[in-house]
Amino acid sequence: MQILERPPTPFPLPEGTVNIATQRWELTPWQGAPDPPDLQRTWSRKPKFTVDGRRSCAELAVVDHLRRDGWDGVWVSAFGNSLRAEWFPAPAFRTLAEAGAPAWAVEIFERLRAANGGKLGGFFDVFAWREPDEVRFLEIKVANDQIRPTQRRFVETALRFHRPEHFMIIEIPAVRASPTTPPTAPAPRPHPAPTP
């Protein structure tokens, strides 16, 4: 996998613009069997990437890479109102404690969820932790995906508890739909983004 530093992504907030570190990750596309027919469309339409030789998604590919660097983490899915450590058919979790996180990481995550109105909406895609007390929030943007207003509100809320260097945007190029379809280029960014 190739990781390239990108200009930081500016987050205009009421108190002023915060620059979030940004990287571009080249993930391995999934070229194996199609998804099983019983996989819900919400999940089957996600771009397919390879993790340990199996079909997965960009968020879990990032989690897998972080694990190799001494972190642990989960994919925070606002659509499913759940947390995932592995792709289907592995189970989802409702709480970080169910996912096996240490108590200190659970406390950090739940405090932020409470500050976010008890919801996962706007949370960055990956919440990662590493002993003794490090956390990271990573937002994964595949192809032309853009920052949403709920994510800006999340960053505004989360910055009450965490420093800007705890956040990162990871841009991932689109995957090919078929061997004859060229990948789409990422959307142009309106402003340069800051580096970590």
pLDDT tens digits for range 36-87: 999 999 899 999 999 999 999 999 999 999 999 999 999 999 988 999 999 9
Please tell me the pTM assigned to this model.
0.87
Task: State the Cα–Cα distance between residues 33 and 118, nearest whole angstrom.
Answer: 38
Quote the pLDDT of residue 187: 41
Quote the pLDDT of residue 43: 92
Task: State the Cα–Cα distance between residues 59 and 147, nearest whole angstrom.
Answer: 15
Q: 111 pLDDT exceeds 60?
A: yes
Quote the pLDDT of residue 188: 39
Quote the pLDDT of residue 79: 85
Average pLDDT over residues 144-170: 95
Average pLDDT over residues 104-116: 97
Quote the pLDDT of residue 1: 82
For 89-147, the DSSP string reads TSPPBSSTTTTT--HHHHHHHHHHHHHTTT--TT--SEEEEETTTEEEEEEEEETT---
